[in-house]
Amino acid sequence: MTHITASAPCSMHDPFVKSPSQRDPFKTAQKQLDEAAAIMKLDPAAHELLRWPLRELHVTLPVRMDNGSTRIFHGFRVQHNDSRGPNKGGIRFHPDETIDTVRALATWMTWKTALLDIPLGGGKGGVICDPKTMSDAELERLSRAYIRQVGRILGPDKDIPAPDVYTTPRIMAWMADEYSFMQGNNEFGVITGKPLALGGSAGRGDATARGGIYCVREAAAEIGMNLAGAETAIQGYGNAGSSAHKLAVELLCMKVIAVSDSKGGIYNPDGLDYKAVHAHKQKTGSVTGFSEATAITNEGLLELDVAVLFPAALESVITETNAANIRAKIIAELANGPTTPEADTILYNKGTHIIPDLLCNAGGVTVSWFEMVQNAYGYYWEKEEVHARLEKKMKTAFRSMYETAGKYHVHNRLAAYIVAVSRVAEAMKLRGWF
């Protein structure tokens, strides 16, 4: 592993500490791989190689704040495996970001691109910061400073970032602009999730949720569940969660009875109107305080007796502590890593149908890949074409996971791992890496 570090003498945060929940998502990612490797009888060298990122860049970023002071931020870019193609994965801006979270997310991207059979690898980036307390000008300076540092390992043929938690199309535009300055020519293909006017793809905005909704439809058909009028709850109300609210109603005719964000949740057994909740969140910055609902905690929301639960916030929210209390029939993991391995076993034994993150939220990276293809050709598709191509990709991946689960008698997540790991191992073998 190439480990390039640039550490600051003093810092408010230790970037090497674990996530606040004290669960290490990277250990979770390694454990999930270990389980699949044992079942597949994966070559030991390939297994060890895949347990670690190939490359990491740690950066320290001085940023001029609006009050004239300079603040030092820490950031990372992790490239887990590029045997099947350039690394691909989002950038998070979050106060609790850690190197282990970024490592885990980069690893999961490798599996996700392989499961969807997209010719890309796995990467992820992050900056420890609290965007909610920063002005637009400060965020722009931070975004440009990050790209000036990590730009040397990025590029349309090397590593292509995208938005993730608390990063937006606007931030992607600043980053694409900074990278283009560094190259001396427009390089919009270096980043995806851009605004449409700068080479973004139609249909990228709700692609993550849309892909998850297609999976829920497939899973419900498998278990004979009627989704029309069925109740659902959504944890997290950002890009993934709020789009899931809209599309669950629009495409599946479901009833969304609870949603939440970092400030808390809201509940209405008669259903929450998407437009009204969205408008309230736009106005106040949170779903909490919505007049046509009562309050519910994030923990309480997860335990509601619903047909489908969408975790769409952060990792490690379903653990061995609350798994036994989860009553949802289907868990559609729009968030990355919301369920720990211990919780997985409890839920599997209870008969809960989990659509694992590797598949459920892969609509985002799939349409990001479409965006790269369109950037390369300078020719752009209609939204309907994007939706149709996405649906086909999601259904194909769902089928390969489902058939593998049947063949090996394992749960969906393990099946998804087996499909993905075998594809990556095949590429590494053909390249002579082991």
Among 159, 164, 303, 371, binds ligand NAD (CB under 6 A): 164
Amino acid identity of 204? R
Assess 79 for contact with ligand NAD (CB under 6 A): no
Assess 260 for contact with ligand NAD (CB under 6 A): yes
Stretch that binds ligand NAD, among 18-26, 37-45, 143-151, 160-168 (CB under 6 A): 160-168
Nearer to ligand NAD, 101 or 410 (CB): 101
Nearer to ligand NAD, 256 or 314 (CB): 314
Assess 166 for contact with ligand NAD (CB under 6 A): yes
Q: How far is the CB of 195 from ligand NAD (least distance, A)?
A: 15
Integer Cα distance of 97 and 125 in angstroms? 10
Length of the chain: 434
Among 49, 234, 312, 415, binds ligand NAD (CB under 6 A): 312
| In 213-276, beta strands by DSSP E | 231-235, 255-261, 264-267
Q: Using alpha carbons only, give the angle 341, 346, 351 rounded to the nearest 5 degrees.
A: 120
Among 177, 359, 364, 386, binds ligand NAD (CB under 6 A): 364
Q: Which residue is nearest to ligand NAD (CB)?
A: 238
Nearer to ligand NAD, 166 or 369 (CB): 166
Assess 358 for contact with ligand NAD (CB under 6 A): no
Among 262, 321, 325, 349, binds ligand NAD (CB under 6 A): 262
Nearer to ligand NAD, 46 or 122 (CB): 122
Assess 288 for contact with ligand NAD (CB under 6 A): no
Q: In 10 A of CB 373, how many CB atoms?
A: 14
Q: How far apart are the first and last CA of the chain?
A: 16
Q: How far is the CB of 162 from ligand NAD (least distance, A)?
A: 7
Query: Footprint of ligand NAD on residues 18-47 (CB under 6 A)?
Result: none
Nearer to ligand NAD, 37 or 163 (CB): 163
DSSP state of 200: P
Integer Cα distance of 423 and 431 in angstroms? 13
Sign of CA dihedral 126, 130, 136, 140: negative
Q: How far is the CB of 408 from ligand NAD (least distance, A)?
A: 26
- Reading the block at residue 168, the tokens are 């937006």
Assess 235 for contact with ligand NAD (CB under 6 A): yes
Stretch that binds ligand NAD, among 42-50, 72-80, 175-183, 231-239 (CB under 6 A): 231-239
If 0-12 CB within 10 Å is exposed, 13-18 middle and 19+ buried, where does residue 164 land?
buried
Q: Output phi, psi for 156, to 5 deg.
A: -60, -25
Amino acid identity of 118? I
Integer Cα distance of 217 and 390 in angstroms? 14
Assess 371 for contact with ligand NAD (CB under 6 A): no
Assess 297 for contact with ligand NAD (CB under 6 A): no
Assess 314 for contact with ligand NAD (CB under 6 A): yes
With the CA atoms of 245, 247, 249 and 250 taken in that order, what torsion angle do they form, in degrees rounded to the nearest 10? 150
For 29, the enclosing helix (H) or strand (E) is helix 25-40
For 212, the enclosing helix (H) or strand (E) is helix 207-223
Assess 334 for contact with ligand NAD (CB under 6 A): yes
Assess 313 for contact with ligand NAD (CB under 6 A): yes
Task: Print burial letters for 224-253: b (CB count within 10 Å at least 16), e (below 16).
Answer: eeebeebbbbbbbbbbbbbbbbbbbbeebe
The residue count for binding ligand NAD (CB under 6 A) is: 24
Q: How far is the CB of 336 from ligand NAD (least distance, A)?
A: 4
Stretch that binds ligand NAD, among 71-79, 143-151, 218-226, 232-240 (CB under 6 A): 232-240
Nearer to ligand NAD, 140 or 261 (CB): 261
Integer Cα distance of 379 and 311 in angstroms? 35
Among 75, 163, 189, 200, binds ligand NAD (CB under 6 A): 163
Stretch that binds ligand NAD, among 1-9, 24-32, 164-172, 178-186 (CB under 6 A): 164-172
* Residue pair 269/344 in contact by the 8 Å Cβ criterion: no
Stretch that binds ligand NAD, among 13-21, 268-276, 322-330, 332-340 (CB under 6 A): 332-340
- Short-list 366, 395, 370, CA closest to 381: 370
List residues with catalytic annotation. Answer: 124
If 0-12 CB within 10 Å is exposed, 13-18 middle and 19+ buried, where does residue 165 land?
buried
Q: How far is the CB of 97 from ligand NAD (least distance, A)?
A: 12
- Short-list 304, 238, 296, 229, CA closest to 267: 296
Which residues are at the interface with ligand NAD (CB under 6 A)? Answer: 163-166, 208, 235-241, 260-262, 298, 312-314, 334-336, 361, 364
